[in-house]
């Protein structure tokens, strides 16, 4: 057998050489100019699917990856990636991600699996709780921490729904769901994240989501009150978005809490703040999320906003002891005071994901992170102002954070295209962008909630969102020049 397969003192120099090549390859990829070099071909897929039987030298694998894999990867780190949350380009965050795999700590148990990692994870949770305005108490065991680290926002939201279920009908974990139609969850219509509906089905509550109409991508509070009264006693949770995944609008948090608790104080209030919690780092912007601290649970995604690599999320709880409702006991999970495995549903062994967040926190600091978040919001406002001063485009949202939904309409002062024609040309713009692989903007369906184009129409806007602090005003200007060129070519092809 090749002596360079398993790390030991004899092959340390060889391992270091290979790892250095990997690091160089990763840096070159992160710093490349365009979003993607190539589309995946059938030939490369077939090559990937081949089962390796014999030993292959690591150097050959690295070369193959560099030449045949990386060109097909999407580069979130380029300044031309403007359609999704975060670039994951904190040097400290990347360093923590790499180191966590080397250290091989398992956050399921504390005493032997993660003796120091457990306390560092607790520190990260405490810092996040402080950012959203939750009170921290003295920590004597795992039920005093007031939060858990998960693999993503879907996991955090699912555990929040599990907690809401147990709060609604005690001992459902033991007895099972009886009459699932009495386990309803309220979400805002058209902007609710798929994880809520999915998690309800995963935990046995069925498809019992009630969608409440919205105004400007926020709950219609009058309709919310009406739904709560009509379904009194059957609603286990109301979900509000502190930056929904489409428009990134921040809802009226204090008003929602007031209405819900006035009608039924037992309803669990969950804030999906996977994006918006980041505003809590900024003294200038944190007033936008005022009221979030009133919610029973808050989901946060550092991998969406803190420049750290995928994946890491955190579910935070107003009342830390609520986790006792979903405690797991097993001889495999040590009944230790600080064993996170007791309070992390759906997760068994867990990597030290929070180490990259700890690294980034330490390196950038709360104030520095606040400045990063402020710049992201400033760049979005800059784009909004440009688009609003041009007759060809309409901005659909209020731009509460760093998302700008916009559409090409020809002339917004005199729109002659039908809704179908507007949607079609914006879809064509997106197709051209994707085909060339230079830039990336997001696109999805959404209601014209503020009637910018047509009342209750389903629209397919382009969406700018960036968590890359290398983006400048020049970057945004160049992106618009690029889109203008595509539109000019499309109109030329139509003979206009």
Q: Give the 3-state DSSP-derived string for 371-401, with helices as H, strands as E and coil as C.
A: HHHHHHHHHHHHHHHHHHCCCCEEECCCCCC
Res 410: pLDDT: 96
What average pLDDT score do residues 361-375 get? Answer: 98
pLDDT at 247 over 70: yes
Taking only the tens place, the pLDDT of each residue in 141-197 is: 999 999 999 999 999 999 999 999 999 999 999 999 999 999 999 999 999 999 999
pLDDT band at 451 (very low <50, low <70, confident <90, very high): confident
Tell me the average pLDDT across 354-375. 98
465-469: average pLDDT = 93
pLDDT band at 347 (very low <50, low <70, confident <90, very high): very high
Q: Is the pLDDT of residue 241 over 90?
A: yes
What CATH number does the domain located at 94-361 have?
Answer: 3.40.640.10
CA-derived radius of gyration, the chain:
24
Where does residue 206 fall: left (phi above 0), alpha (psi -120 to 50 degrees), or beta otherwise? left
Is residue 273 within 8 Å of 289, Cβ to Cβ? yes
Flag whether pLDDT at 331 surpasses 90: no
Name the pairing type of β-strands 147-150 and 313-317: antiparallel
* 281 C-beta neighbours (distance < 10 Å), count: 23
CA dist 47 and 43 (Å) reads 6
CA 169, CA 237: separation in Å to the nearest integer? 12
DSSP tag of 81: B
Q: Mean of the pLDDT values across residues 406-418?
A: 96
Mean pLDDT computed over 103-125: 96
CA distance 165 to 196: 12
pLDDT tens column, 54-69 = 999 999 999 999 999 9
- % pLDDT > 70, the chain: 100
Give the pLDDT score at 84: 85
pLDDT for 35 beyond 70: yes
DSSP 439-469: -B-EE--EE-TT-SSSTT-EE--EEEE---T
- pLDDT of the residue at 328: 83
Question: Worst-scoring range by mean pLDDT, 82-86, 191-195, 218-222, 352-356?
Answer: 82-86
| Average pLDDT score over residue span 248-260 | 98
Instruction: Collapse the DSSP code of 82 into the 3-class scheme (helix H, G, I; strand E, B; otherwise coil) and give the result.
Output: coil
The pLDDT score that the predictor gives to residue 496 is 63
What pLDDT, on a 0 to 100 scale, did the predictor assign at position 333? 75
Q: Find the mean pLDDT for residues 7-25.
A: 98
Which of 123, 166, 153, 117 is CA-nearest to residue 339?
117
CB 71, CB 25: distance < 8 Å: no
Taking residue 371's Cβ as centre, other Cβ atoms within 10 Å add up to: 15
Place of tokens 């699932």: 180
Domains in the chain: boundaries: 9-75, 94-361
Backbone angles phi, psi at 210, to 5 degrees: -110, 120
pLDDT at 85: 83
Per-residue burial over 28-63, b if 16 or more Cβ lie within 10 Å, else e, is ebeebeebbeeeeeeeeeeeeeeeeeeeeebeeeee
- What was the pLDDT predicted at 361? 98
Give me the pLDDT at residue 454, please: 81
Q: What is the mean pLDDT of the chain?
A: 96
d(CA 296, CA 298): 7
């Amino acid at each position: 057998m090749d002596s360079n397969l398993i790390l030991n003192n004899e092959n340390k120099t060889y391992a270091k050489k290979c790892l250095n090549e990997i690091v160089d390859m990763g840096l070159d990829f992160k710093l490349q100019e365009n979003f993607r070099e190539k589309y995946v071909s059938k030939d490369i897929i077939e090559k990937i699917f081949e089962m390796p039987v014999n030993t292959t030298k690591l150097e050959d694998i690295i070369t193959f990856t560099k030449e045949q894999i990386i060109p097909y990867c999407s580069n979130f780190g380029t300044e031309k990636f403007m359609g999704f949350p975060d670039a994951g380009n904190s040097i400290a965050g990347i360093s923590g991600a790499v180191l966590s795999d080397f250290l091989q700590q398992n956050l399921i148990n504390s005493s032997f699996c993660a003796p120091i990692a457990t306390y560092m994870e607790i520190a990260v949770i405490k810092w996040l709780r402080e950012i959203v305005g939750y009170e921290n108490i003295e920590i004597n065991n795992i039920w005093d921490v007031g939060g858990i680290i998960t693999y993503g926002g879907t996991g955090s939201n699912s555990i929040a729904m599990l907690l809401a279920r147990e709060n609604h009908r005690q001992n459902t974990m033991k007895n099972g769901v009886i009459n699932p139609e009495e386990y309803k969850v309220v979400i805002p219509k058209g902007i609710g994240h798929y994880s809520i509906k999915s998690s309800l089905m995963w935990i046995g509550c069925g498809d019992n989501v009630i969608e409440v109409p919205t105004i400007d991508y926020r709950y219609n509070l009058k309709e919310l009150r009406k739904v709560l009264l009509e379904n009194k006693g059957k609603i286990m949770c109301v979900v509000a978005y502190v930056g929904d995944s489409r428009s990134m609008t921040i809802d009226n948090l204090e008003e929602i809490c007031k209405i819900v608790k006035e009608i039924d104080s037992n309803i669990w209030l969950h804030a999906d703040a996977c994006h918006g919690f980041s505003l809590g780092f900024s003294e200038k912007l944190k007033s936008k999320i005022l009221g979030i601290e009133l919610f029973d649970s808050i989901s946060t995604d550092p991998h969406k906003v803190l420049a750290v690599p995928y994946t890491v999320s955190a579910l935070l709880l107003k009342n830390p002891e609520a986790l006792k409702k979903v405690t797991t006991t097993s001889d495999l999970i040590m009944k230790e005071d600080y064993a996170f495995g007791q309070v992390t549903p759906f997760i068994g062994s867990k990597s030290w994901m929070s180490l990259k967040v700890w690294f980034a926190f330490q390196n950038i600091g709360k104030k520095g992170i606040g400045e990063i978040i402020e710049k992201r919001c400033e760049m979005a406002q800059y784009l909004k102002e440009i688009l609003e001063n041009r007759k060809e485009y309409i901005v659909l949202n209020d731009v509460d954070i760093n998302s700008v939904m916009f559409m090409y309409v020809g002339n917004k002062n005199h729109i002659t295209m039908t809704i179908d024609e507007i949607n079609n040309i914006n879809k064509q713009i997106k197709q051209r962008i994707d085909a060339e692989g230079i830039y990336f903007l997001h696109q999805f369906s959404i209601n014209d909630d503020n009637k910018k184009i047509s009342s209750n129409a389903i629209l397919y806007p382009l969406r700018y969102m960036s968590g890359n602090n290398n983006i400048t005003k020049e970057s945004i200007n160049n992106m618009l020049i690029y889109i203008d060129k595509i539109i000019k070519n499309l109109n030329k092809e139509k003979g206009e």
